[in-house]
Amino acid sequence: MTKNTPSSNSGGTIYTISDLAQRFDITTRAIRFYESEGLLSPERQGQKRLYSPRDYATLKLIIRGKRLGWSLAQSRELIQLYNPAENNQQQYQKVLEKVRQSRERLQEQMNDIEIMMIELNDQESRIREAMDKQ
């Protein structure tokens, strides 16, 4: 296995910590943090950590969750629901609910921003009018 190049075995692709850090543009320290939180469970080969396709998928979910504003606890909840025997339907339903909630929260933030922009524009207009009168 060469550095930063995933290798394959009969169980699927195996990734090193450097592979994952590069693919997800995160630090190896962040990956070790997720490992310490029990979210990733790499095999060990001496000092080297070897991550499975499941670890890859878990990390991908964590990263996506962060972009959606999910807490690590929310991502953990979804990861724990993963059950290949059930075709992930329970996980999909939870993800859909979290996406809906995130969309609602973002819409509220957009509304707040719109109101703030109107208020700032009004304030700017009043200041310009006051300056013109002087």
Instruction: Tell me the C-alpha distance between 55 and 15, whole Å.
Output: 9
Pick the residue with more confidence: 73 or 10?
Answer: 73
Overall pTM > 0.85? no
The separation between CA 18 and the C-alpha centre of its own chain, rounded to angstroms, equals 18
For residue 120, tell me if it sits in a domain. Answer: yes
60 and 94 share a domain? no
CB contact at 8 A, 78 and 65: yes
What is the reported pLDDT for 99?
Answer: 81
Instruction: Tell me the C-alpha distance between 104 and 118, whole Å.
Output: 21
Number of domains in the chain: 2
Instruction: Tell me the C-alpha distance between 62 and 113, whole Å.
Output: 27
Q: How confident is the model at residue 9 (pLDDT cuts 50, 70, 90)?
A: low
For residue 57, tell me if it sits in a domain. Answer: yes
For residue 121, tell me if it sits in a domain. Answer: yes
pLDDT in tens, 63-97: 988 888 888 998 888 787 765 556 677 777 877 88
30 and 55 share a domain? yes
For residue 82, tell me if it sits in a domain. Answer: no
48 and 97 share a domain? no
CA dihedral 28, 30, 35, 37 (to 10 degrees): 170
Give me the residues paired with residue 49 across strands.
Answer: 44
Question: What is the CA angle 64-72-23, rounded to 5?
Answer: 40
Q: Which domain holds residue 52?
A: 13-71
What is the reported pLDDT for 93?
Answer: 83
